Structure 1
Amino acid sequence: MLKNKFLTKGLVLSSALVLAACGNGNGDDADTGSNDSNDDAVAQDVEVNVGEFPIVDEEITLSLMAPGTGMAEWEDMPTMQAYAEMTGINLEYTTPPMDDFGTRFNLTFASQDLPDIIFAPGTSVLTPALEVDYGQQGMLIPLNDLIEEYAPNLYQLLEERPHVRQAITTPDGNIYALPRIDDGDTASWPIGPLWYNGAWLDALDAEVPETLEEFHELLVRFRDEDPNGNGVADEIPISNSGLTHPRVWFLGAFGMHSWGAEEVDGEVRYNPMTDNARAYYEFFSQIYSEGLVDQELFSQSDEMKKAKGQENRIGLFQDWFSFFTTGETEEEAINNPMFRPLKSEWNPEGTVAGSPQMVRGTFAITSENPHPEATMAWVDYMYSEEGTEFFDRGPAGHYWDWADEEGGEKVMTERGAEEGEEYRGEITPFYGITTPGLGVSLPPIGEVGESDFATFIREETQEKVVPNSQIAFPLVYLTNEEIEEIQGVAGDMATYIEEEEAKFITGQLDVTDDAVWDNYVSTLENMGADRFIEIYQAAYDRSVEAVEE
């Protein structure tokens, strides 16, 4: 990457004047909580080296607020100490415990005594609505131009992934907070997958089904042909504790990719009230009545499901990894193949819900920051694979060390090998919080290499999930008024749908009866489904317009 230097004194002063005019509505920044050290810094010449270290030739100091991870103080972590030396940017930390962070964050913005950097707050604290609110008030600065000029790694990612740019662009066309972008082996999973019992497939000489019809046939064989070989008809073809999680993987077979709002050719619909949902209910009602679904599906706990799994009684189940349910070793779990999205008349392509592979609201620059250009260059390293590994594992000599630096060979240190994740949490703050940057699956350290199970997960994901994923609805920004209007409605509808889903599937309600179905749909309409669709349609349209502008 070419070295690109900018003398930013004029830029910083101009930014300060603009923000002073809009920061608190009266053109006077005397009450914005700015501190003397920041005021002094504005008067300095700051040269920014884009794509090179040090980022600044003359050291500067910025203040950063983030949730504490509880493993060590940030200023004592070797990763942050090393990065300060690499960049020339020192930090003064405010890191309240995670449980207290939300309260401290809110008080900070209420008082307008702002730090220079907001780091890893998470969307539950820096919500999309607050991004817009604080941005329009001038407390968070727009990042669009800074990304283009000072963040080549992030800029390239946004160019390659326009859906990410769309998701972080607020209705006024500005980006006020940066995301975490995930590229790891499991990042494409919308939720923990469904897993087949591989031993049962082997016993029946069966393959992973590709169509809804083949899937039904396999479930019948699981029920009837004693695949666990104990001579007792105790097999449960499908089991889980409810359908909330497994449903995500089944919806695609019925032409849906979410259990809520979905955008289809620019139009928003509410899936639980569509004919697609009715087909989903009908199918599960059928297989439930045939004994192909655990009759305790809606009443058992996850622990009860796992107990059945460990007794080798389940043919298909949902979990993050299959051995969490079966109790097998990783080596044994390699034999349990991942569910393949099912093709059907509703979905000939066999697609499944896609993960956005990103989390919003992980980094923001406040109006108090005297060096936003250097700050953007500082965070940009986290959006490179090299930076990801540095912040995930820390510098050499702690968690790991060089066996052959020239040859690029690394080994675990004795303490790193013995204490593992606990020790890593003392070295880097990229542990237990949602940090900005690029999440990738890192190469193994030392001679161990990638485990067979890790290879299995990667290959199954690349074959069955990645090429078949489809995003149902982009991440959008709702206004405070819209949130206030629909949050109660959305919750009430979700509760009602969950109750009716159980009744439809267990046969308490006949989903094939038009009068029953019409009553279900009209109830959702009366609860506010049409207004829900209108709001999400408006939010979707705004997100498209903001990016196009």
Structure 2
Amino acid sequence: MKQKWKLMISLLACGTILTACGNNKRDEQTEQKVTLTTAGEFPIVKEKLTMSMMGPNVGMAEWKDMAFFKDYAKKTNIQFDFTTPPSSDFATKLNLAFASGDIADILFAPGSTALTPAMEMDYGGQGILVALEEMIDENMPNFSKLLKEDPNLKKAITTPDGHIYSLPTIPRSTSAIWGSNPMWLRGDWLEALNVTELPKTTDEFYRLLKRFKEEDPNGNGKADEIPLSSSKDFRIRTWLMGAFGIKGSSNGIEENNGVVRYYPMTENYKAYLEYANKLYKEGLLDKETFSLSVEQFTAKGQSNQIGAFQTWTAYFVTGQTEKDSMNNPMLAPLTSEIADKPVLPMGLPIGRETFAITNKCSSPEAALRWVDYFYSAEGSDYLINGPEGAYWQWETNDSGEKVRVHTQKDVDPAQYENGRAAATPAYGLAIPNLSSPADISDIRIEANQEPDATFAEFIKKESDEKIKPYVELAYPTLYLSNEESDQVQATATDLQTYIEQMEAKFITGVEPLDNWDKYVKTIQSMGVDEYVKVYQTTYDRWEKQ
């Protein structure tokens, strides 16, 4: 007996394990001896290990040819056989793989539209997706640290059956808190009208829009100014709703002090509709708002016709340079008669379903150690930018400072992102990592080029002052059980379709707001009470975790 215990202790000491997955159903053919090194160090395994990986390809390069995978294989001793259908067809291919049983060891960046929460719970319950929670502490030092720092993170990725079947992306950049794009004001219009103080209330905003319309701030002598505009997705709605105390989730659900409500049937929402209708009726809101394509909306902005607009950064609409666009201020959320506290929707604190392990995997522990590096600042940068030599290299400038420089000297700078997209899968996909403001590090055209951090600093300063103090999460990131998901799915689709139609009708005046009570009764007849009840139940369960 003593000899057996000595053998077991020696095997554990050197990290040699016969991989298994706790309560998960394992494919017996996948079990093999894998000798792990110390967690958090390279290489990850002592002998070369080959696993299979499935993920969506955005079409810039084959994953097998990417510098990231080649270089990381050298660091880790882990390489992959890839199955990478086009991202447009990935959801279908993933479903077929699950159905046939011919599924890869690892699913990388599948995203929640392909690997839906319902699929995750279903295939996790069947043991096809591996439960990860008992292996995280021992194999993921970086991710474990994040879980300890933020208890809500673990709650957000834990399914109702108590398991963690996938890992998230965790955004920490300046814009990560943005639940909707900022509202911008045309700075040269403000100067033309001698506006020195920005609006703080809906009444003040209304008066500014009136001046935009009537006082020729673009200076061309024509009455062609459009005070407030948006494309047909009406992206300004969430910002406007914030002035009336609404957090503006896409499914109509929001939580306040533990109570869940459906905001499209509240008095707050009615007040928002009345205000938007007033702007529309007086020509302060673009009459083409509900029909404009993004291209048409942008064309108006670049013709210096729009005074207030919502977009990622102002130059996307104005067509200005970054430097010139810093003259356009963000507008902080407003207050109104019905809401004396400004509010903006907060961006989701995580993106789920970015990394999962199946029961085909020969060493889930090795797979977790492989991905854990990306939950550090260094590893996230490595995943996003790829290794040196792919499209950037270290050089020393005249000051003796080591800087990163693009290797693509004969390429239009506008095409530099293509080099990154060919080097790493972290392009156009939700990837498992901890993002931060420094993720896309300064990569210069020439070693002696002075980095222009001014614009980034401007965005951060505006965001810290005019967005960060006001953002609130409409509803926590959590899982509905399959039964709960089935309960709300049909109702959600019907409600959203009806609300979108009626919102446009109320704002444009096609449907008079005198019919509000009739509108509310229609919503009630569609099963909204049960819809809200499900979300209240799931919230209460999440709160108790």
TM superposition score normalised by structure 1? 0.88
| Separation in 2, partners of 1:505, 1:232 | 27
Q: Alpha-carbon deviation of 1:66?
A: 1.5
The match for 1:237 is: 227
1:303-337 deviation line (CA, Å, top 9, x unaligned): 33333323322211122332232232333222111
The match for 2:289 is: 297
1:238-282 deviation line (CA, Å, top 9, x unaligned): 112346311111111111102410011112110100111011112
| Separation in 2, partners of 1:311, 1:115 | 51
1:368-420 deviation line (CA, Å, top 9, x unaligned): 22222221111011111111111122111221112149964322224596551
**Which one-letter code corresponds to 1:328 in the other structure?**
Q
| Separation in 1, partners of 2:291, 2:370 | 51
**Which one-letter code corresponds to 2:49 in the other structure?**
I
1:20-72 deviation line (CA, Å, top 9, x unaligned): xxx3xxxxx6xx4x64xx33x2xx25234222112223332222122234333
Aligned partner of 1:285 among 277, 289, 300: 277
Detail structure 1 runs of 4+ shifted over 4 Å in the superposition. Answer: 5-11, 404-408, 415-419
Flag the 1:300–1:345 CA change in 2: closer, same or farther, 3 A: same
**CA-based RMSD:** 2.4
| Separation in 1, partners of 2:140, 2:523 | 46
Is residue 398–residue 416 contact of structure 1 (8 Å, CA) maintained in 2?
no
Q: Alpha-carbon deviation of 1:292?
A: 2.0
Q: Alpha-carbon deviation of 1:451?
A: 4.6
- Specify every segment of 5 or more residues in structure 2 that has no aligned partner in the other structure, as ranges: 1-11
Flag the 1:225–1:70 CA change in 2: closer, same or farther, 3 A: closer
1:4-19 paired onto structure 2 within 5 Å: 8-9=15-16, 12-13=19-20, 15=21, 18-19=23-24
| Separation in 1, partners of 2:411, 2:15 | 45
Which range moved further: 169-178 or 368-377?
Answer: 368-377
The match for 1:505 is: 507
Q: Alpha-carbon deviation of 1:436?
A: 1.0
How many corresponding residue pairs? Answer: 521
1:129-140 paired onto structure 2 within 5 Å: 129-140=118-129
Q: Alpha-carbon deviation of 1:285?
A: 2.0
The match for 2:542 is: 543
Aligned partner of 1:185 among 149, 157, 174: 174
The match for 1:413 is: 407
1:192-251 deviation line (CA, Å, top 9, x unaligned): 322211111111222322222322222222223222223333322111234631111111
Flag the 1:522–1:127 CA change in 2: closer, same or farther, 3 A: same
1:202-217 paired onto structure 2 within 5 Å: 202-206=191-195, 207-217=197-207
Is residue 382–residue 437 contact of structure 1 (8 Å, CA) maintained in 2?
yes
| Separation in 1, partners of 2:136, 2:469 | 30
**Which one-letter code corresponds to 1:12 in the other structure?**
T
Is residue 236–residue 294 contact of structure 1 (8 Å, CA) maintained in 2?
yes
Aligned partner of 1:70 among 59, 77, 81: 59
Aligned partner of 1:350 among 323, 342, 351: 342
Flag the 1:51–1:345 CA change in 2: closer, same or farther, 3 A: farther
Aligned partner of 1:222 among 198, 212, 216: 212
- Specify every segment of 5 or more residues in structure 1 that has no aligned partner in the other structure, as ranges: 24-28
| Separation in 2, partners of 1:397, 1:175 | 36
| Separation in 2, partners of 1:174, 1:539 | 16
The match for 2:365 is: 373
**Which one-letter code corresponds to 1:490 in the other structure?**
A
Aligned partner of 1:315 among 307, 332, 339: 307
Aligned partner of 2:69 among 77, 80, 96: 80
1:13-412 paired onto structure 2 within 5 Å: 13=20, 15=21, 18-19=23-24, 23=25, 32=27, 35=29, 38-39=30-31, 41=32, 44=33, 46-206=35-195, 207-242=197-232, 244-259=234-249, 260-404=252-396, 408-412=402-406
Is 2:436 the partner of 1:434? no
1:439-468 deviation line (CA, Å, top 9, x unaligned): 233331233413533332222222222232
The match for 2:532 is: 533
TM superposition score normalised by structure 2? 0.89
The match for 2:441 is: 443
The match for 1:26 is: none
| Separation in 1, partners of 2:14, 2:52 | 22
SS at match of 1:170: coil
**Which one-letter code corresponds to 1:190 in the other structure?**
G
| Separation in 2, partners of 1:372, 1:416 | 43
Flag the 1:453–1:351 CA change in 2: closer, same or farther, 3 A: same
